Amino acid sequence: MAVVILKDGSRREYPQPVTPLQVALDLSKRLAKETVVAKVNGALWDINRVMPEEAELELLDFEDPEARDVYRHSTAHLMAQAVRELYPHVKLAIGPAIEDGFYYDFDLGEPLTPEDLGKIQKRMEELVKEDLPIERMVLSREEAIKLFADMGEDYKVELIKELPADAEISCYRQGDFLDLCAGPHVGSTGRIRAFQLTSVAGAYWRGDENNVMLQRVYGTSFAKQSQLEEHLRLLEEARKRDHRKLGRELDLFSINEAGPGMPFYHPKGVIIWNELLKLWREEHARDGYMEIRTPQILNRRLWEQSGHWDNYAENMYFTEVDDTTFALKPMNCPGAMLWYLTQHRSYRELPLRTAELGLVHRHEQSGVLHGLMRVRAFTQDDAHIFMLPSQIEQEISGVIDLVDRLYKVFGLEYRLEISTRPEKSMGSEEQWEIATQALIRVLENKGIDYKLNPGDGAFYGPKIDFHVRDCLKRSWQCATIQLDFQMPERFDLTYIGEDGQKHRPVMVHRVAYGAIDRFLGILIEHFAGAFPVWLSPVQVKILPIADRHHQYCKELAQRLEAAGIRVEVDLRNEKIGYKIRQAQGEKVPYMLIAGDKEVEAGKAALRTRSEGDVGQVDIAQFQQRVLEEIRTRQLN
RNA sequence: GCUCACGUAGCUCAAACGGUAGAGCGCAUCCUUGGUAAGGAUGAGGUAACCGGUUCAAUCCCGGUCGUGAGCUCCA
């Protein structure tokens, strides 16, 4: 007698133990078809694996995140099976599900080409048609090692040897393909419906560049063909939004090979840059920040004192002048310390909030450079806040509010992470505990969700990071708030307290945009180049129909410019359709078209980027509307 | 930094199995003065990333360097 308790609490009895699939079939054919994997007594369970005599059963379909991972993991196995058949000498490494898909690492001895992917994909489709059952087997450690050693699967043997002593070692078989796997999997290859291999790249065994390079094949899979197509469409859309492509097309910035990772900003890029800073300065002034500027290169001694010489030298640029070594600053903090030290400080003036738009240089590894997202020279919207220990929570809270205000202007989503003490770190256990608790308390008091990253803090203190999501679903760290115990010590910062004695201030480093450069890159992709009016390099483009309207259009432009609107007039000898096409490509938010009718009426025909032809408008009203959108920094 | 691929006009890309290269877009000039996403003609524009080797001859083959891309790794 076996008992199955379903999610809704109902009981079903069977003469002997059954599989989840059997139960699902009893309930409905459709349910059986859509179930990817089961959960039995809280643990994931193959749908064709017999359940214990008493089982709480939950049936998961593709919409469930855990089931989705199982489904994609099974697709990875299917791919491995195809690869094994096509390349019998292959050695398999690992093949997990990842966000949006899966990959499998293969040791083939030679690289795969995109054509190879097509072959593999085709073989996978055939294996799906064969609908091979996927069966689970449990082996003893010795059996497993022998089995995989005989197959020549060195990586699998290595993995087995490292499994904990009490681990149950399981394998999955489909047809004559066998793979080491904790499982679970979908019931048979025929259950995998829509999949696509997407790319191939090198990856090191265990991510260590001292190990052999494997071929990593990426793919993705979905329950329905329509979902797969939608996903591929999104990928294509993301490619179109690539800020490197749009940056060139919209003439915002370029990167010359004379300075890898060091962007050149073109006039239109600088307009956006300056608008970002204008907003930034408004918000910082509102919060009582003072702005400072510190030098680009400073004496080696300073970097020895700050600890960068020991901890960061390999990322720094140096220069030698008059027998003295100088370093190009990779961070702004030492400069801020020297500013603090220019006066005796009283507890009465704390907190001191000093901001600095500092251009820093870091010698990042060549392979990580990526457009504006990973660069070697960038401007941080930095700030250093010097405070009394009792002011920590209030100050951190203030920074969070400031960042939130800024990001809201762009409609950007973000999530927070708190990183705690890493193994290699400085300061007392007590200091760390107090600081970490302060960060946690601030977020909890504000009712903000966060993820805890144990051991991921800076060596000098714990931190809160803001992660923004871009249209490619990549997560970018932008704002960060870091408590620092080291810098005030190393520079012997003090303030005179109420008691007339010297005390050590607490300091936080923080950035809001992070790097202006990266933030601009994110915005380009976020808006797909169609910036809100206040950020648009050209806000209104005026298009005359024929030569005789040029004068009227120039006057119109002058009028709008005088009101503070960025305007361009297209006086080229081209037809109106052509000019519109061009302006649309430049993603200009507003076009004003003037011909005989408009000159006659003293108006202009408005065309918007998103709605097309809107008809004639009164110039004064239009000007009002645009100015209001700029003033309120309205989103599109 | 590592692996693989790539580097031809401002941009997007061709072709030539080794005999110094083309198109479209863009740009300029002219014709056209046209009403809501490409009017026509003509023209300028390339030391084929850089350095070396092989060869009678190299943009093409080989090696190195630099850069770019994807991925890995790194990210105080």
| pLDDT tens per residue, range A30-88 | 777 788 888 888 788 888 888 888 878 888 888 888 888 888 888 888 888 888 888 88
* Percentage of residues in chain A having pLDDT higher than 70: 98
Q: Which residues of A are catalytic?
A: 333, 362, 380, 382, 384, 463, 509
Query: Is the per-residue pLDDT at A530 higher than 90?
Result: yes
The predicted model gives A156-168 an average pLDDT of 79
- A502 CA to B44 C1' in angstroms comes to 73
A305: tokens are 């004192």
- A381 CA to B49 C1' in angstroms comes to 35
Contact A222, A195 (CB under 8 A): yes
pLDDT digits (tens, 9 = 90+) for A265-288: 999 999 999 999 999 999 999 999
Higher pLDDT, A118 or A299: A299
Q: Which nucleotides of B are covered by protein (CB under 7 A)?
A: 1-5, 7, 11-12, 26-28, 30-39, 66-74, 76
pLDDT digits (tens, 9 = 90+) for A593-605: 999 999 999 999 9
Reported as a pLDDT band with limits 50, 70 and 90, residue A534 is very high
Reported as a pLDDT band with limits 50, 70 and 90, residue A540 is very high
Cα separations in angstroms, A15 against A150, A271, A428 = 41, 76, 64
A243 phi, psi to nearest 5 deg: -65, -20
pLDDT at position A454 is 83
- A58 CA to B35 C1' in angstroms comes to 65
**Other CB atoms closer than 10 Å to residue A226's CB: what's the count?**
10
Which nt has its C1' nearest the CA of A111? Answer: B4
The predicted model gives A296-304 an average pLDDT of 92
- A248 CA to B15 C1' in angstroms comes to 27
Which nt has its C1' nearest the CA of A582? Answer: B37
The predicted model gives A569-579 an average pLDDT of 91
pLDDT at position A209 is 66
- A270 CA to B30 C1' in angstroms comes to 37
Tell me the average pLDDT of chain A: 88
pLDDT at position A408 is 93
Smallest CA–C1' distance to B38, residue: A578
Listed in sequence order, the DSSP H helices in A189-266 are 225-241, 243-249
Which nt has its C1' nearest the CA of A597? Answer: B35
The mean-pLDDT minimum among A204-213, A299-308, A367-376 falls in A204-213
**Other CB atoms closer than 10 Å to residue A484's CB: what's the count?**
22
pLDDT at position A111 is 64
The predicted model gives A359-373 an average pLDDT of 91
Percentages of chain A per state (helix, strand, coil), in multiples of 5:
40, 30, 30
Radius of gyration of chain A (CA): 31
pLDDT at position A113 is 65
Note the pTM of the prediction, 2 decimals. 0.84
Which nt has its C1' nearest the CA of A424? Answer: B76
